[in-house]
Amino acid sequence: MNARISHLFGAVVVALVALIAMTTYWQVWARGSLEARQSNVRLVYRDLEIERGAIISADGIVLADSEPGRLDGRDVFLRRYPEQGLAAQLVGYSSLLAGRAGLERSLDPELTGSTSDLAGVRNSFDRMRGDTVRGDDVVLRLVAAAQQTAMDRLREAGRAGSVVVLDPSNGGVLVMASTPTFDPNEGLVEALDAPGSPLLNRATQGLYPPGSTFKVVTAASALDNGVVEVSTEFPAGDCIETGGQELCNFNGKDPGEHDFGYALVHSVNTTLATVGIELGDERLEATMAGFGFFKRIPWDYPADQNLASGIYNRRGNQVRPGANVDEARLAIGQERLLATPLQMALVAAAVANGGQLVQPQAVQEVRAPDGSVTRRPQAVFLGRAMTTETAGELRLLMRQVVDEGTGATAAVEGLDVAGKTGTAETGEEGLNDAWFIGFAPASAPRYAIAVLVERTAGTGGDVAAPIAADVLRTLSGS
Amino acid sequence: MAGHARDDAVNALLRLPARNRELALIALALLITTAGFAAVQIARAEALSWSPLIAAALFAAAYLAAHVALRLYLPDADPYVLPITAVLAAIGLIEIHRIDPDLARDQGLWIALGLGLFVAVAVAFRDIRRLESLRYTCGALAVALLLVTIVVGTEVNGARLWIRAAGLQIQPGEFAKILLVVFLAGYLRERREVLAAPARRVLGVGIPALRHALPLLILAGAALVLLVAMNDLGSSLLLFVIALAMVYVATGRLLYVGTGLGLFALGGLAALQIAPQVQTRIDGWLDPWPDEQDSAYQIAQSIYTIADGGVTGAGFGRGLILNDAGGTIIPFAQTDFIYSVIANEMGLVGASAVILLYLLLAWRGFRIATQADDGFSKLLASGLAVAVAFQAFVIVGGVVRLLPLTGLTLPFVSYGGSSVTANFAIAALLLCISQRANRERG
């Protein structure tokens, strides 16, 4: 029996040595690739050991910071959002349960001090020594007071919506509001599948028919291409025939004989559509590209949380420029043209800026833990959307829209507001997407704004323009 | 010079009579225990408390008491078995303390209870032949325990392995395993000749008479029934392999082993059709990554935890084991996945050391078997050694993804009263056999 007992022992030796071999495989051979797996929850836990930098508004309100806590005997830092839903989609979140989104994701290297420059290298030494790594603080261009006004007014409107305000001179994002919102401290898990998609940043991910606000782009194209002048005369009439269908003015109104300027100020569909046909889709789409349409807008926000504005087919895919479109309907912001509020704010900013398209910028400056400024972004211009002359003419016309046209409700005492309203039919009876885009002060613009209210019974002038007025009033302090 | 001095020290240790050697090794194990508790305490940087010190002191007292009992009742028994269990139990106790000090208090109590049972068994069966006469009682008791589990058992983590009695959860399978080994040792010694050299031959292959083989066939069938009824691949595989190993030692006939493994494979395939739990475990074993957030969560987290330890490990109390809710990142870390925690905090070095301790323990067990001079003792010692070593293989194989995951405990290390006490009973039985063999050899 002893020989057989030895055989048995041999089998046990083989089995147990196989365990050591397998353990070695995981701990030596496969270790690196396992550590790199995104689904490895240990990565997220490890990041909690970094004191993530704060996110602060331009007017000094702390939007996100870190507070010390304990996890499995380690000192960790847990993320806190003191203003809850104030700018939840823009700021985003960094969460054990839901991962990262928004600026928390795109600014992660600076917030965790893991940039590839000298400071980042120094931090990785700290980490190896076991010292606490402190990330950089980020100061945004966001003005919390105006953001609050925007959120309050959107909530009062009782509909989902968005407000974007840019500084035309440098692209600074002064307001980026989106409703409904969520509380990143507590409500993240519920928000993941809550009705109304509160996690969606409607400013950058919401695609809406721009309606009459798009006439600014059509007018810029027509004036730039010499198709019309402001004084070009157009005949009277309530409807025209195009593409085998009737295209009529809002409420079937006949404006009488008028010039092109009057047509823009009073949003005459028939005239803008006629101009669109004359312009042709090629020239109009070239102007749109100059305004930033057809591509994701490049700025310091995660690319996949930014949708491109453009022409979409029924399946929700973007139609390439040059495809067969109905120019007449495109010219008045229909024909399945969809735009984000951020894109329409850029249109307003380009007019305000003498025709230059500016890149949006969320960050005012990045500060190291010792208070020194490590990055202060410069204004970036993405090109020219129209000539300076055209921009000057549009500025005067948009000024008239607020003075005597459809945008009168956007007027603010002591602040010259210029703008354009839009009321896009949603396809549902009696429900429109209401728009206002504009800038102020008209003579030397400091704010370019876009307001959108989803699925409302009112028009752009009724619903969106008053919200713009309130936000601009808070911003200008008047 | 230093080398000579060391050699002299080793020689001096080896020249000591067996029990002195045992005492020296236990002292070493206690040193490891104290250092481990201190390391956890320092690493966790929590308020210093007396409880780990008290636990270490109790642990030491229990082991010293067991040692004294051996001096009195089994003076010639193998001196390595008890110290090996001490190191294993200490590593388990330290990691359990690190996971949850309250669990460590229970585990400390069970180790003390286990050592109490160890002494009781050592005293009761210091003449191991007394056990041989109880072989049928043991067999009947084993079957009864398993039947009771199937009938009144409660399911934990999908497997029906537990019964609740008087506020305690007991895992009868752990004790049934020992009783079964005793029965098989007695039965196989009795029928060894007729099974090894059967009178009848069919196609040149010896087939034993049905009346000799029937109990073994019943046993094989019962193990397969258990597999389905308890919904647990691990326990039935363990019982089956122990039985086959003992049949092999008794008869030397690979035909029986091959037939047995074939039957088990067939039964396993049948179980796959009936028991969804087994199918899930097999899928998670073949490829855990598509389901790592749900059905393969445990095995995926186990692998991440092991890999994270690297060669040298994070250190006692310094690994990342608990989640933000205070639970363990791997569910059941203190029982099924204690090896993953050890691999994380002690690294490849420590995890290999633990495996080598099982190898040492198996080696002592088989050595005791070869030195014993009666068939019953040889079979019993072989069976017990296989029981401990194969159980370690199945559970560790599961958490390192060498085998499908099963719900067995790691002997002496995992949290659990039934497991700890039953394994101490195994250690005591091995020492009883060793005592008889060593005394007769002089």
Which tokens sit at A100? 């990262």
Per the model's pLDDT, the better-predicted residue between B243 and B47 turns out to be B243
Query: Mean pLDDT: which of A317-321, B231-235, B260-264 is highest?
Result: B260-264
Confidence of residue A124 (pLDDT cuts 50, 70, 90): low
Least reliable range by pLDDT among A10-19, B7-16, B109-118, B400-409: B7-16
Q: Are strands A233-234 and A173-179 parallel, antiparallel or unpaired?
A: unpaired
Say if residue A390 is exposed, middle or buried (CB neighbours under 10 Å; 0-12, 13-18, 19+).
Answer: buried
pTM above 0.80, yes or no: no
Q: Is there a contact between B45 and A39 if contact means CB atoms under 8 Å apart?
A: no
| CA A280 to each of CA A242, A273, A288, A318: distance values in angstroms, whole numbers, following the listed order | 13, 11, 13, 19
Any A CB within 8 A of B411 CB: no
User: What's the pLDDT score for residue B158?
Assistant: 61
Mean pLDDT for A440-463 is 95
Who's near A294: CB < 8 A, 6+ residues apart? A285, A288, A308, A309, A310, A318, A321
Per the model's pLDDT, the better-predicted residue between A376 and A245 turns out to be A376
Chain A residues within an 8 Å CB radius of B392: 16, 19
Any A CB within 8 A of B323 CB: yes
Any A CB within 8 A of B248 CB: yes
How far is the C-alpha of B304 from the C-alpha of B340, rounded, in Å? 9
What is the ipTM, given to two decimal places?
A: 0.92
Q: How far is A137 from chain B (nearest CA, A)?
A: 25
How far is the C-alpha of A70 from the C-alpha of B119, rounded, in Å? 44
Beta bridge partners of B162: B154
* Mean per-residue pLDDT over chain B, rounded: 86
Query: Mean pLDDT: which of A412-416, A447-451, B43-47, B260-264 is highest?
Result: A447-451
User: What's the pLDDT score for residue B170?
Assistant: 82
Chain A residues within an 8 Å CB radius of B386: 8, 12
Closest Cβ–Cβ partner in B45, B358, B378 for A16: B358
Query: Mean pLDDT: which of A306-320, A345-359, B307-321 is highest?
Result: A345-359
Q: How far is B317 from chain A (nearest CA, A)?
A: 8
Least reliable range by pLDDT among A112-126, A151-165, B303-317, B361-375: A112-126
User: What's the pLDDT score for residue A244?
Assistant: 79
Mean pLDDT for B316-338 is 85
Mean pLDDT for A338-360 is 97
User: What's the pLDDT score for residue A419?
Assistant: 96
CA nearest A337: which of A319, A317, A315, A312? A312
pLDDT at B54 over 90: no
Any A CB within 8 A of B337 CB: no
pLDDT at A279 over 90: yes
Least reliable range by pLDDT among A8-17, A169-178, A396-405, B268-277: B268-277
User: What's the pLDDT score for residue A5?
Assistant: 96
Any A CB within 8 A of B66 CB: no
User: What's the pLDDT score for residue A263?
Assistant: 95
Who's near A193: CB < 8 A, 6+ residues apart? none
How far is the C-alpha of A418 from the C-alpha of B58, rounded, in Å? 84
The helix/strand/coil state of B157 is coil
Which tokens sit at A78? 């847990």
pLDDT at A378 over 70: yes
Closest Cβ–Cβ partner in B362, B378, B396 for A1: B378
Chain A residues within an 8 Å CB radius of B311: 27-28
Who's near B85: CB < 8 A, 6+ residues apart? B361, B412, B423, B424, B427
Any B CB within 8 A of A303 CB: no
Please tell me the number of Cα atoms within 13 Å of B261 on its side-chain side. 7
Mean pLDDT for A232-239 is 91
Angle in degrees, 0-180, between the axes of helices B210-229 and B233-251, rounded to the nearest 10: 160
Contact A267, A405 (CB under 8 A): yes
Residue of A nearest to B313 (CA): A27
Active site residue A221: no
User: What's the pLDDT score for residue B157?
Assistant: 61
Q: How far is A86 from chain B (nearest CA, A)?
A: 27
Closest Cβ–Cβ partner in B343, B378, B401 for A27: B343
Least reliable range by pLDDT among A435-449, B42-56, B81-95: B42-56
Q: How far is A2 from chain B (nearest CA, A)?
A: 5
CA nearest B245: which of B147, B366, B133, B412? B366
Contact residues, B window 296-315, toward A, CB-based 8 Å cutoff: 300-301, 303-304, 306-311
Residue of A nearest to B307 (CA): A27
Which tokens sit at A12? 């046990």
Which tokens sit at B74? 């089994």
Q: What is the DSSP string of B386-438?
A: HHHHHHHHHHHHHHTTSS----PPPTTTSS-HHHHHHHHHHHHHHHHHHHHHH
Mean pLDDT for B53-82 is 92
Residue of B nearest to A40 (CA): B304
Residue of A nearest to B319 (CA): A72
Mean pLDDT for A67-86 is 88
The residue behind tokens 């400071």 is A119
DSSP annotation of A28: I
Q: For residue range B391-401, list pLDDT tens digits in order.
A: 999 999 999 99
Confidence of residue A203 (pLDDT cuts 50, 70, 90): very high
pLDDT at A319 over 50: yes
Any A CB within 8 A of B351 CB: yes
Q: What domains sit in chain A, N to C, each tagged with a CATH number?
A: 144-364+378-476 (3.40.710.10)
Contact residues, B window 379-398, toward A, CB-based 8 Å cutoff: 379, 382, 385-386, 389-390, 392-393, 396-397
Phi, psi of A380 (to 5 degrees): -120, 125
Any B CB within 8 A of A130 CB: no
Q: Is there a contact between B306 and A19 if contact means CB atoms under 8 Å apart?
A: no
User: What's the pLDDT score for residue B1?
Assistant: 47
Contact A452, A208 (CB under 8 A): yes
Confidence of residue B293 (pLDDT cuts 50, 70, 90): confident
User: What's the pLDDT score for residue B292?
Assistant: 80
Please tell me the number of Cα atoms within 13 Å of B104 on its side-chain side. 23
Mean pLDDT for A437-441 is 95
- Dmax over CA atoms of chain A, in Å, equals 116
Phi, psi of B396 (to 5 degrees): -70, -40
How far is the C-alpha of A79 from the C-alpha of A71, rounded, in Å? 13
Closest Cβ–Cβ partner in B252, B311, B322 for A27: B311
Please tell me the number of Cα atoms within 13 Å of B172 on its side-chain side. 21
CA nearest B228: which of B142, B335, B146? B146
Q: For residue range B154-208, list pLDDT tens digits in order.
A: 766 666 667 776 666 788 888 989 999 999 999 999 888 878 777 677 766 667 7
pLDDT at A56 over 90: yes
Q: For residue range A88-115, list pLDDT tens digits in order.
A: 999 999 887 677 899 999 999 899 887 7
Cα angle, residue A188 at apex, residues A184 and A194 outer, rounded to 5°: 125
Name residue A311's amino acid. Answer: I
How far is the C-alpha of A440 from the C-alpha of A423, rounded, in Å? 21
Mean pLDDT for B271-281 is 76
Least reliable range by pLDDT among A122-136, A264-278, A417-431, B316-330: A122-136
Mutate which: A13, A23, A28, vs B, most B CBs within 10 A: A23
User: What's the pLDDT score for residue A78?
Assistant: 87
User: What's the pLDDT score for residue B283?
Assistant: 86
E-strand stretches of A310-404: 310-311, 337-338, 356-358, 363-367, 373-375, 381-384
Give the percent of chain B with pLDDT over 90: 46
Residue of A nearest to B290 (CA): A39
Least reliable range by pLDDT among A198-212, A304-318, B78-92, B392-406: A304-318
Q: How far is A4 from chain B (nearest CA, A)?
A: 5
Q: Are strands A418-425 and A432-440 parallel, antiparallel or unpaired?
A: antiparallel
Q: Is there a contact between B366 and A1 if contact means CB atoms under 8 Å apart?
A: no
Any B CB within 8 A of A41 CB: yes
Contact B366, B376 (CB under 8 A): no
Q: How far is A13 from chain B (nearest CA, A)?
A: 7
Least reliable range by pLDDT among B111-120, B274-283, B428-437: B274-283
> A7-11: which pairs have CB atoms within 8 A and are 24 or more residues apart?
A7/B248, A8/B245, A8/B248, A8/B249, A8/B366, A8/B382, A8/B385, A8/B386, A9/B362, A9/B363, A9/B366, A9/B385
Who's near A316: CB < 8 A, 6+ residues apart? none
Confidence of residue B407 (pLDDT cuts 50, 70, 90): confident
Residue of B nearest to A26 (CA): B307
User: What's the pLDDT score for residue B413?
Assistant: 97
pLDDT at B438 over 70: yes
Residue of B nearest to A74 (CA): B44
Q: Is there a contact between B375 and A1 if contact means CB atoms under 8 Å apart?
A: yes
Question: Out of A66, A212, A221, A267, which one is annotated catalytic?
Answer: A212
Name residue B195's amino acid. Answer: L
